[in-house]
């Protein structure tokens, strides 16, 4: 539950939005904003990527007029843009027109005002659980499809002393549908190390060359040289990556310095865009002007033009 991202969409901020936010933050959730209009809700959801949205049904429009079904329209746009779970918080459920429109929403759920704290927290907890299961199932399906095809997206080259930091990045890549090749995960007992590495280097189209506090190791430098050769022939991409706990920018190998590197030293902080830039590099995709883009497996699948 800790720090799960919740967006509140409520045009009565002081009397209803802020009290909801206080209850959620007290329970350990992170409220990423209180949006008041349909357009504000969609824009905030796209920028903040909440896992759950508490949505009032009757919202004011951009001209300040009450829109009885505004929240339903906002919910459809937010779900399409982010995949977030929607929990309607409303006092207008009894109206037949509202109920009829709401039933068209997949997995719709309602809380009726005034919302009691136990009901609020129970509904949000359930919605968070659904969102995580859906996300996990989706990323798992993408990774399984790539496993069936024998496809890897990126080779993670690193010194074994930096493995813990690299494995954490690998696990995050999997959650967005990127399949990494990591020696700890993909070498079987009894494999001939040189043969396995040679096959991986020859077939994987991109390498993240990770540089951490440890020096460049023996196998690490061989992997770097191999990918420099493929990069020079235009056959592969390579991305220098600075890992956490690197205090000073290291002197990168000469040819590695020719490519744009990614600073992952603070990649787990809220507004850092290091992980987004790494994924963009793996997919040969320009990152655009967003400083800390929020995205998920559906975005990556779209960028890779996958069907799942």
Same domain, 173 and 217: yes
Check residue 23 and give its pLDDT: 95
What pLDDT, on a 0 to 100 scale, did the predictor assign at position 290? 62
Instruction: State whether 159 and 294 are in the same domain.
Output: yes
User: pTM here?
Assistant: 0.62
Domain match, 98 and 178 both: no
- Are 294 and 230 in the same domain? yes
pLDDT at 107: 61
CA 205 – CA 152 distance, rounded (Å): 8
Number of domains in the chain: 2
Say yes or no: 157 and 102 in one domain: no
Q: How many angstroms from the chain centroid is the CA of residue 301?
A: 12
Which residues are within 8 A (CB) of 149 and not within 5 positions of it... i.e. 6 or more apart?
A: none
Q: pLDDT value at position 185? A: 96
Q: Where are the beta strands (DSSP E) in the chain?
A: 5-9, 30-35, 52-55, 59-60, 66-67, 85-90, 110-112, 154-157, 180-181, 206-211, 237-242, 262-263
Which range of residues forms the domain containing residue 124? 5-137
CA distance 155 to 179: 9
| Cβ contact 89:54 at 8 Å | yes
Residue 144 lies in a domain: no
- Residue count of the chain, please give it: 308
Do residues 29 and 89 both lie within one domain?
yes
Has residue 69 been placed in a domain? yes
Q: Quick one: pLDDT at residue 131?
A: 85
Instruction: Tokens for 36, please give them.
Output: 């008041």
* 182-199 CB burial, b ≥16 within 10 A, e <16: bbeeeeeeeeeeeeebee
Same domain, 31 and 124: yes
Q: Which of 80, 102, 137 is the last residue of a domain?
A: 137
Identify whether residues 78 and 221 lie together within a single domain: no
35 neighbors 9 (Cβ within 8 angstroms): yes
Q: Provide the residue-wise pLDDT of the chain in tens; the chain has 308 residues.
A: 557 999 999 988 988 999 999 999 999 999 999 999 988 998 898 888 899 999 998 887 777 777 878 888 888 888 877 778 999 987 755 567 766 676 666 666 788 888 899 999 999 999 998 888 777 667 888 899 899 999 999 999 999 899 999 999 999 999 889 999 999 999 999 988 889 888 988 999 999 999 998 877 777 888 888 888 888 888 889 999 999 998 877 777 767 777 888 999 999 887 789 999 999 999 999 988 765 566 888 788 888 876 54
Would you say residue 70 lies in a domain? yes
In a domain, 33, yes or no: yes
Q: Does the residue 308 lie in any domain?
A: no
pLDDT at residue number 297: 83
Phi and psi torsions of 174, nearest 5°: -60, -40
**CATH value at residue 242:** 3.40.50.10140
Is the same domain home to 29 and 120? Answer: yes
In a domain, 73, yes or no: yes
The reported pLDDT for the residue numbered 25 is: 94
Same domain, 104 and 189: no
């Amino acid at each position: 539950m800790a720090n799960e991202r919740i967006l509140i969409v409520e045009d009565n901020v002081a009397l209803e939005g802020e009290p909801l936010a206080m209850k959620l933050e007290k329970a350990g959730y992170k409220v990423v904003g209180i949006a008041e209009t349909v357009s504000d809700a969609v824009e905030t959801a796209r920028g903040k990527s909440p896992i759950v949205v508490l949505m009032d049904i009757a919202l004011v429009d951009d001209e300040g007029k009450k829109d009885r079904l505004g929240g339903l329209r906002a919910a459809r746009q937010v779900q399409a843009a982010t995949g977030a779970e929607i929990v309607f918080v409303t006092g207008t459920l009894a109206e037949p027109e509202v109920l009829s429109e709401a039933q068209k929403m997949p997995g719709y759920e309602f809380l009726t005002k005034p919302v009691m704290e136990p009901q609020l927290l129970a509904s949000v907890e359930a919605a968070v659980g659904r969102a995580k299961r859906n996300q996990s199932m989706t990323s798992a399906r993408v990774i399984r499809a790539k496993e069936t095809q024998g496809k890897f997206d990126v080779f993670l080259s690193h010194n074994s002393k930096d493995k813990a930091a690299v494995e954490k990045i690998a696990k995050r890549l999997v959650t967005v549908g990127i399949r990494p090749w990591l020696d700890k995960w993909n070498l079987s007992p009894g494999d001939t190390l040189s043969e396995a590495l040679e096959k991986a280097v020859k077939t994987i189209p991109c390498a993240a060359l990770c540089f951490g506090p440890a020096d460049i190791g023996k196998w690490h430098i061989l992997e770097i040289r191999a990918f420099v050769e493929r990069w020079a022939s235009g056959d592969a991409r390579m991305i220098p990556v600075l890992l956490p706990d690197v205090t000073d920018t290291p002197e990168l190998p000469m040819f590695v310095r020719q490519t744009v590197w990614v600073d992952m030293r603070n990649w787990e902080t809220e507004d850092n865009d290091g992980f987004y830039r790494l994924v963009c590099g793996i997919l040969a995709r320009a990152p655009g002007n967003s400083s800390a883009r929020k995205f998920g497996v559906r975005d990556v699948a779209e960028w890779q033009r996958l069907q799942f």
